[in-house]
Homo-oligomer: A and B are copies of this chain.
Protein backbone atom coordinates (compact mmCIF):
# COMPACT_ATOMS: atom_id res chain seq x y z
CA UNK A 1 0.00 0.00 0.00
CA UNK A 2 -0.70 2.89 -0.59
CA UNK A 3 -0.54 5.76 -2.95
CA UNK A 4 -3.70 7.06 -4.53
CA UNK A 5 -3.38 6.59 -8.27
CA UNK A 6 -4.23 9.36 -10.65
CA UNK A 7 -7.50 8.19 -12.19
CA UNK A 8 -7.59 11.15 -14.53
CA UNK A 9 -4.90 9.61 -16.67
CA UNK A 10 -6.36 6.10 -16.67
CA UNK A 11 -6.73 4.73 -20.18
CA UNK A 12 -10.36 4.59 -21.23
CA UNK A 13 -12.29 2.79 -23.88
CA UNK A 14 -10.07 0.12 -25.30
CA UNK A 15 -8.50 -2.85 -23.52
CA UNK A 16 -8.38 -2.23 -19.81
CA UNK A 17 -5.61 -4.70 -19.03
CA UNK A 18 -1.96 -3.74 -19.16
CA UNK A 19 0.88 -6.30 -19.18
CA UNK A 20 3.41 -6.31 -16.31
CA UNK A 21 7.14 -6.92 -16.48
CA UNK A 22 8.08 -10.53 -17.29
CA UNK A 23 8.77 -12.86 -14.35
CA UNK A 24 12.51 -12.94 -15.04
CA UNK A 25 12.75 -9.26 -14.03
CA UNK A 26 12.15 -10.39 -10.45
CA UNK A 27 14.40 -13.46 -10.22
CA UNK A 28 17.38 -12.95 -12.51
CA UNK A 29 20.53 -11.88 -10.59
CA UNK A 30 21.86 -10.22 -13.75
CA UNK A 31 18.79 -7.96 -13.87
CA UNK A 32 19.36 -7.04 -10.23
CA UNK A 33 23.01 -6.22 -10.94
CA UNK A 34 21.92 -3.92 -13.73
CA UNK A 35 19.36 -2.24 -11.48
CA UNK A 36 22.08 -1.65 -8.88
CA UNK A 37 24.33 -0.12 -11.52
CA UNK A 38 21.73 2.01 -13.27
CA UNK A 39 19.37 2.84 -10.44
CA UNK A 40 20.57 2.46 -6.85
CA UNK A 41 24.21 3.35 -7.53
CA UNK A 42 23.38 6.03 -10.09
CA UNK A 43 20.54 8.07 -8.50
CA UNK A 44 19.98 9.78 -5.16
CA UNK A 45 19.50 7.14 -2.46
CA UNK A 46 17.94 7.89 0.93
CA UNK A 47 20.43 6.34 3.31
CA UNK A 48 19.67 7.38 6.92
CA UNK A 49 18.03 9.96 9.14
CA UNK A 50 20.08 12.97 10.18
CA UNK A 51 19.59 12.04 13.81
CA UNK A 52 21.36 8.71 13.14
CA UNK A 53 24.46 10.93 12.93
CA UNK A 54 24.19 13.17 16.00
CA UNK A 55 27.64 14.75 15.69
CA UNK A 56 31.22 14.59 14.38
CA UNK A 57 32.49 11.00 14.34
CA UNK A 58 29.08 9.44 14.81
CA UNK A 59 28.74 6.98 11.95
CA UNK A 60 26.38 4.62 10.26
CA UNK A 61 27.09 1.97 7.61
CA UNK A 62 24.46 1.19 4.99
CA UNK A 63 24.19 -0.93 1.86
CA UNK A 64 23.63 1.18 -1.28
CA UNK A 65 23.26 -1.11 -4.28
CA UNK A 66 26.19 -3.48 -3.96
CA UNK A 67 28.32 -1.11 -1.89
CA UNK A 68 28.87 -0.62 1.83
CA UNK A 69 28.78 3.13 2.48
CA UNK A 70 30.04 4.83 5.63
CA UNK A 71 28.09 7.93 6.72
CA UNK A 72 29.45 10.41 9.25
CA UNK A 73 29.86 14.09 10.09
CA UNK A 74 32.93 16.26 9.80
CA UNK A 75 34.41 18.24 12.70
CA UNK A 76 32.15 21.11 11.65
CA UNK A 77 29.10 18.86 11.66
CA UNK A 78 28.78 18.54 7.89
CA UNK A 79 27.50 15.29 6.43
CA UNK A 80 30.11 13.04 4.84
CA UNK A 81 29.77 9.73 3.01
CA UNK A 82 32.53 7.35 1.93
CA UNK A 83 33.02 3.89 0.54
CA UNK A 84 33.58 1.76 3.64
CA UNK A 85 36.82 0.37 2.19
CA UNK A 86 40.39 1.03 3.30
CA UNK A 87 42.50 2.41 0.44
CA UNK A 88 45.45 0.24 1.41
CA UNK A 89 44.33 -3.38 1.15
CA UNK A 90 40.57 -3.09 1.28
CA UNK A 91 39.55 -4.00 4.84
CA UNK A 92 36.16 -2.71 5.95
CA UNK A 93 36.73 0.42 8.02
CA UNK A 94 33.63 -0.10 10.18
CA UNK A 95 31.86 -3.43 10.62
CA UNK A 96 29.14 -2.17 12.98
CA UNK A 97 25.81 -0.77 11.77
CA UNK A 98 26.42 2.36 13.79
CA UNK A 99 28.72 3.83 16.43
CA UNK A 100 30.86 6.79 17.30
CA UNK A 101 34.55 7.54 16.81
CA UNK A 102 36.34 10.05 19.00
CA UNK A 103 38.99 11.32 16.63
CA UNK A 104 39.29 9.43 13.36
CA UNK A 105 38.52 6.30 11.42
CA UNK A 106 41.37 3.88 11.83
CA UNK A 107 41.48 0.75 9.76
CA UNK A 108 41.83 -2.04 12.30
CA UNK A 109 44.13 -4.06 10.02
CA UNK A 110 47.20 -1.84 9.38
CA UNK A 111 46.14 1.35 11.17
CA UNK A 112 45.76 3.60 8.15
CA UNK A 113 43.95 6.50 9.77
CA UNK A 114 41.51 8.93 8.18
CA UNK A 115 39.97 12.09 9.55
CA UNK A 116 36.24 12.72 9.37
CA UNK A 117 36.72 14.42 6.01
CA UNK A 118 38.30 11.20 4.73
CA UNK A 119 41.88 12.50 4.48
CA UNK A 120 44.63 10.01 5.25
CA UNK A 121 46.20 11.51 8.37
CA UNK A 122 48.40 8.70 9.60
CA UNK A 123 49.77 5.31 8.64
CA UNK A 124 52.70 3.33 10.00
CA UNK A 125 55.87 4.46 8.22
CA UNK A 126 53.95 7.02 6.23
CA UNK A 127 56.89 9.39 6.23
CA UNK A 128 58.92 6.78 4.38
CA UNK A 129 56.29 6.65 1.62
CA UNK A 130 56.57 10.08 0.01
CA UNK A 131 54.28 9.30 -2.90
CA UNK A 132 51.21 8.66 -0.77
CA UNK A 133 49.05 11.72 -1.21
CA UNK A 134 46.78 12.25 1.76
CA UNK A 135 43.81 13.18 -0.38
CA UNK A 136 44.40 10.75 -3.26
CA UNK A 137 44.66 7.94 -0.71
CA UNK A 138 41.92 9.27 1.51
CA UNK A 139 38.62 7.48 1.88
CA UNK A 140 36.79 7.75 -1.43
CA UNK A 141 33.88 10.13 -0.94
CA UNK A 142 30.43 9.86 -2.47
CA UNK A 143 27.97 12.72 -2.91
CA UNK A 144 25.84 13.47 0.11
CA UNK A 145 23.09 15.93 0.99
CA UNK A 146 20.28 16.45 3.42
CA UNK A 147 16.59 16.77 2.58
CA UNK A 148 13.56 16.47 4.84
CA UNK A 149 15.81 15.47 7.72
CA UNK A 150 17.22 12.55 5.78
CA UNK A 151 20.70 11.85 4.47
CA UNK A 152 20.78 11.16 0.74
CA UNK A 153 23.83 9.85 -1.11
CA UNK A 154 24.71 9.36 -4.74
CA UNK A 155 27.45 7.06 -5.98
CA UNK A 156 27.28 8.55 -9.49
CA UNK A 157 30.26 10.54 -10.78
CA UNK A 158 27.79 13.31 -11.61
CA UNK A 159 24.58 12.85 -9.63
CA UNK A 160 21.28 13.62 -11.27
CA UNK A 161 19.50 16.88 -10.42
CA UNK A 162 17.86 16.48 -7.01
CA UNK A 163 15.09 18.82 -8.12
CA UNK A 164 14.35 16.88 -11.31
CA UNK A 165 14.26 13.52 -9.56
CA UNK A 166 13.44 13.48 -5.84
CA UNK A 167 11.57 16.75 -5.62
CA UNK A 168 9.79 16.15 -8.93
CA UNK A 169 8.09 13.09 -7.42
CA UNK A 170 6.60 15.27 -4.70
CA UNK A 171 5.49 17.92 -7.17
CA UNK A 172 3.79 15.29 -9.35
CA UNK A 173 1.85 14.07 -6.36
CA UNK A 174 1.12 17.23 -4.34
CA UNK A 175 1.39 19.94 -7.01
CA UNK A 176 4.11 21.95 -5.26
CA UNK A 177 6.97 21.39 -2.86
CA UNK A 178 5.18 23.86 -0.57
CA UNK A 179 2.49 21.31 0.02
CA UNK A 180 4.96 18.96 1.69
CA UNK A 181 6.83 21.84 3.34
CA UNK A 182 3.72 22.49 5.43
CA UNK A 183 4.50 19.27 7.38
CA UNK A 184 8.00 20.63 8.22
CA UNK A 185 9.32 17.07 8.18
CA UNK A 186 12.91 18.10 8.86
CA UNK A 187 11.83 19.36 12.29
CA UNK A 188 10.31 16.03 13.35
CA UNK A 189 11.88 13.32 15.52
CA UNK A 190 11.83 9.57 15.22
CA UNK A 191 9.27 8.15 17.65
CA UNK A 192 9.65 4.58 16.47
CA UNK A 193 11.73 2.69 13.92
CA UNK A 194 10.93 -0.83 12.75
CA UNK A 195 13.09 -2.80 10.33
CA UNK A 196 11.59 -5.50 8.12
CA UNK A 197 13.37 -8.25 6.19
CA UNK A 198 11.27 -8.96 3.14
CA UNK A 199 11.97 -12.04 1.02
CA UNK A 200 10.86 -10.38 -2.18
CA UNK A 201 12.23 -8.33 -5.05
CA UNK A 202 12.22 -4.59 -4.37
CA UNK A 203 9.96 -3.94 -7.38
CA UNK A 204 7.17 -6.05 -5.87
CA UNK A 205 7.33 -3.78 -2.83
CA UNK A 206 7.15 -0.63 -4.95
CA UNK A 207 4.24 -2.03 -6.95
CA UNK A 208 2.43 -2.93 -3.77
CA UNK A 209 2.89 0.56 -2.40
CA UNK A 210 1.68 2.14 -5.63
CA UNK A 211 -1.82 0.66 -5.73
CA UNK A 212 -4.78 0.34 -3.43
CA UNK A 213 -6.60 -2.35 -5.38
CA UNK A 214 -5.52 -4.75 -2.61
CA UNK A 215 -6.63 -2.55 0.30
CA UNK A 216 -10.08 -4.01 0.77
CA UNK A 217 -8.61 -7.53 0.77
CA UNK A 218 -5.67 -7.27 3.13
CA UNK A 219 -5.96 -3.98 5.09
CA UNK A 220 -9.12 -4.11 7.23
CA UNK A 221 -7.77 -1.64 9.80
CA UNK A 222 -6.65 0.89 7.20
CA UNK A 223 -9.90 0.82 5.23
CA UNK A 224 -11.76 1.38 8.50
CA UNK A 225 -9.87 4.64 8.92
CA UNK A 226 -9.93 5.59 5.22
CA UNK A 227 -13.26 4.31 3.88
CA UNK A 228 -12.62 5.40 0.31
CA UNK A 229 -9.79 2.85 0.14
CA UNK A 230 -12.34 0.08 0.53
CA UNK A 231 -13.69 0.50 -2.98
CA UNK A 232 -10.49 -0.85 -4.44
CA UNK A 233 -10.02 2.16 -6.66
CA UNK A 234 -8.61 4.79 -4.28
CA UNK A 235 -8.20 7.05 -7.27
CA UNK A 236 -6.32 10.27 -7.06
CA UNK A 237 -9.10 12.30 -8.59
CA UNK A 238 -6.90 15.35 -8.91
CA UNK A 239 -3.39 16.43 -7.97
CA UNK A 240 -3.09 16.96 -4.19
CA UNK A 241 -6.18 14.86 -3.51
CA UNK A 242 -5.86 13.15 -0.13
CA UNK A 243 -7.89 10.31 1.30
CA UNK A 244 -10.40 11.59 3.85
CA UNK A 245 -10.72 10.03 7.31
CA UNK A 246 -14.03 8.23 8.00
CA UNK A 247 -16.75 10.16 9.80
CA UNK A 248 -16.26 8.58 13.21
CA UNK A 249 -12.48 8.46 12.93
CA UNK A 250 -10.68 10.75 15.33
CA UNK A 251 -7.07 10.00 14.35
CA UNK A 252 -4.79 7.88 12.18
CA UNK A 253 -4.59 5.09 14.76
CA UNK A 254 -5.23 1.38 14.89
CA UNK A 255 -8.70 1.89 16.39
CA UNK A 256 -9.54 5.35 15.02
CA UNK A 257 -8.99 6.89 18.41
CA UNK A 258 -7.62 10.39 18.95
CA UNK A 259 -4.14 11.03 17.53
CA UNK A 260 -1.50 13.41 18.83
CA UNK A 261 -2.98 16.70 17.69
CA UNK A 262 -2.04 18.35 14.41
CA UNK A 263 1.46 19.19 13.25
CA UNK A 264 2.15 22.90 13.90
CA UNK A 265 1.56 25.05 10.86
CA UNK A 266 -0.26 22.35 8.88
CA UNK A 267 -2.85 23.92 6.59
CA UNK A 268 -6.46 23.11 7.47
CA UNK A 269 -7.06 21.45 4.12
CA UNK A 270 -4.92 18.52 5.33
CA UNK A 271 -6.00 18.10 8.91
CA UNK A 272 -8.15 15.00 8.30
CA UNK A 273 -6.39 13.66 5.25
CA UNK A 274 -3.90 10.94 4.34
CA UNK A 275 -1.32 11.25 1.54
CA UNK A 276 1.07 8.66 0.17
CA UNK A 277 4.02 9.48 -2.04
CA UNK A 278 6.43 7.15 -3.80
CA UNK A 279 9.85 8.70 -4.34
CA UNK A 280 11.60 6.36 -6.75
CA UNK A 281 13.54 4.25 -6.41
CA UNK A 282 13.33 3.41 -2.72
CA UNK A 283 11.36 5.83 -0.54
CA UNK A 284 7.69 5.79 0.47
CA UNK A 285 6.20 8.63 2.51
CA UNK A 286 2.85 8.77 4.26
CA UNK A 287 1.56 12.10 5.53
CA UNK A 288 -1.15 12.27 8.18
CA UNK A 289 -2.15 15.23 10.36
CA UNK A 290 -0.09 14.36 13.42
CA UNK A 291 2.82 12.33 12.07
CA UNK A 292 4.78 11.19 9.04
CA UNK A 293 5.72 7.61 8.15
CA UNK A 294 8.90 7.35 6.12
CA UNK A 295 10.06 4.06 4.54
CA UNK A 296 13.44 3.36 2.97
CA UNK A 297 14.22 0.14 1.12
CA UNK A 298 17.70 -1.38 1.01
CA UNK A 299 17.60 -4.00 -1.76
CA UNK A 300 20.17 -6.72 -0.95
CA UNK A 301 19.54 -9.19 -3.75
CA UNK A 302 16.96 -9.98 -6.39
CA UNK A 303 14.92 -11.72 -3.71
CA UNK A 304 15.74 -9.97 -0.45
CA UNK A 305 15.01 -6.39 0.62
CA UNK A 306 15.41 -4.66 3.95
CA UNK A 307 12.79 -1.99 4.71
CA UNK A 308 13.46 0.51 7.46
CA UNK A 309 10.38 2.47 8.52
CA UNK A 310 10.41 5.57 10.75
CA UNK A 311 7.39 7.08 12.50
CA UNK A 312 8.12 10.82 12.87
CA UNK A 313 6.45 13.07 15.46
CA UNK A 314 7.09 16.56 16.83
CA UNK A 315 10.07 16.62 19.18
CA UNK A 316 7.91 17.26 22.23
CA UNK A 317 5.72 14.24 21.52
CA UNK A 318 8.88 12.17 21.49
CA UNK A 319 10.68 13.78 24.41
CA UNK A 320 7.57 13.87 26.60
CA UNK A 321 7.29 10.10 26.17
CA UNK A 322 3.67 10.26 25.02
CA UNK A 323 2.26 6.93 23.92
CA UNK A 324 2.55 6.66 20.15
CA UNK A 325 1.73 2.97 19.93
CA UNK A 326 -1.81 3.39 18.58
CA UNK A 327 -0.50 5.25 15.53
CA UNK A 328 2.58 3.03 15.11
CA UNK A 329 0.44 -0.09 15.26
CA UNK A 330 -1.77 0.95 12.36
CA UNK A 331 0.93 1.24 9.72
CA UNK A 332 3.07 -1.51 11.25
CA UNK A 333 0.15 -3.83 10.61
CA UNK A 334 -0.23 -2.46 7.08
CA UNK A 335 3.47 -3.13 6.50
CA UNK A 336 3.20 -6.71 7.73
CA UNK A 337 0.16 -7.31 5.53
CA UNK A 338 1.89 -5.84 2.49
CA UNK A 339 5.18 -7.63 2.92
CA UNK A 340 3.43 -10.96 3.40
CA UNK A 341 1.66 -10.36 0.08
CA UNK A 342 4.98 -9.56 -1.61
CA UNK A 343 6.58 -12.71 -0.21
CA UNK A 344 3.66 -14.78 -1.47
CA UNK A 345 4.15 -13.32 -4.95
CA UNK A 346 7.92 -13.74 -5.28
CA UNK A 347 7.94 -17.56 -5.77
CA UNK A 348 5.65 -17.41 -8.81
CA UNK A 349 7.96 -15.05 -10.63
CA UNK A 350 9.95 -18.06 -11.86
CA UNK A 351 6.88 -20.01 -13.04
CA UNK A 352 6.49 -20.66 -16.76
CA UNK A 353 2.99 -19.26 -16.33
CA UNK A 354 4.49 -15.88 -15.43
CA UNK A 355 7.11 -15.97 -18.18
CA UNK A 356 5.36 -13.05 -19.90
CA UNK A 357 4.15 -11.53 -16.65
CA UNK A 358 0.62 -10.91 -15.37
CA UNK A 359 -1.84 -8.09 -15.93
CA UNK A 360 -2.66 -4.74 -14.35
CA UNK A 361 -6.25 -3.62 -13.93
CA UNK A 362 -7.15 0.00 -14.75
CA UNK A 363 -6.68 1.26 -11.18
CA UNK A 364 -3.10 -0.12 -11.31
CA UNK A 365 -2.14 1.58 -14.56
CA UNK A 366 0.51 3.77 -12.90
CA UNK A 367 2.45 0.56 -12.09
CA UNK A 368 2.82 0.26 -15.85
CA UNK A 369 4.49 3.66 -15.80
CA UNK A 370 6.86 2.42 -13.10
CA UNK A 371 7.69 -0.60 -15.26
CA UNK A 372 8.38 1.64 -18.24
CA UNK A 373 10.66 3.76 -16.06
CA UNK A 374 12.64 0.74 -14.81
CA UNK A 375 12.92 -0.64 -18.33
CA UNK A 376 14.17 2.66 -19.73
CA UNK A 377 16.78 3.08 -16.99
CA UNK A 378 18.15 -0.45 -17.30
CA UNK A 379 17.97 -0.68 -21.08
CA UNK A 380 21.10 -2.50 -22.11
CA UNK A 381 21.43 -0.35 -25.23
CA UNK A 382 21.83 2.78 -23.15
CA UNK A 383 25.41 3.95 -22.71
CA UNK A 384 26.80 3.16 -19.30
CA UNK A 385 27.00 6.31 -17.19
CA UNK A 386 28.67 4.56 -14.29
CA UNK A 387 31.59 5.85 -12.35
CA UNK A 388 34.54 3.48 -12.15
CA UNK A 389 34.69 3.68 -8.39
- Residues on A lying within 8 angstroms of B by beta carbon are 15-17, 20, 23, 41, 66-68, 83-92, 95, 108-111, 123-125, 128-132, 137, 140, 207, 213-214, 216-218, 231-233, 341, 344-345, 347-363, 387-389
Contacts and interface: CB of A to CB of B under 8 A. Distances in A.
Contact of A353 (B85, B232, B361): B85
A156 to B, nearest CB: 12
Contacts of A213: 110, 124-125
A130 B355 CA distance: 25
A90 B129 contact: no
A203 to B, nearest CB: 11
B131 A16 contact: yes
A16 B88 contact: no
B344 A233 contact: no
A125 B233 contact: yes
Given A108-B217, A124-B213, A131-B17, A85 B389 contact: no
A214 B95 CA distance: 18
A20 B111 CA distance: 18
Contact of A89 (B16, B233, B345, B387): B345
Contacts of A67: 351-353
Contacts of A123: 361
A101 B389 CA distance: 55
Contacts of A218: 108-109
Contacts of A92: 344-345, 347-348
A112 to B, nearest CB: 9
A351 B68 contact: yes
Q: Which of A68, A110, A216, A358 gathers the greatest number of chain B CB atoms within 10 Å? A: A110
A170 to B, nearest CB: 27
A37 B388 CA distance: 32
A129 B362 contact: yes
Nearest to A90: B348
Nearest to A363: B125
A232 B125 contact: yes
A344 B95 CA distance: 8
Contacts of A355: 388-389
A20 B345 contact: no
Given A358-B86, A358-B89, A124 B216 contact: yes
A389 B16 contact: no
B353 A140 contact: yes
Contacts of A207: 89
A233 B126 CA distance: 12
Contacts of A111: 214, 216-217
8 contacts: A86-B348, A86-B358, A88-B359, A91-B341, A110-B213, A124-B232, A352-B387, A352-B389
A173 to B, nearest CB: 23
A265 B129 CA distance: 43
B109 A344 contact: yes
Given A213-B110, A218-B109, A89 B20 contact: yes
A140 B356 CA distance: 14
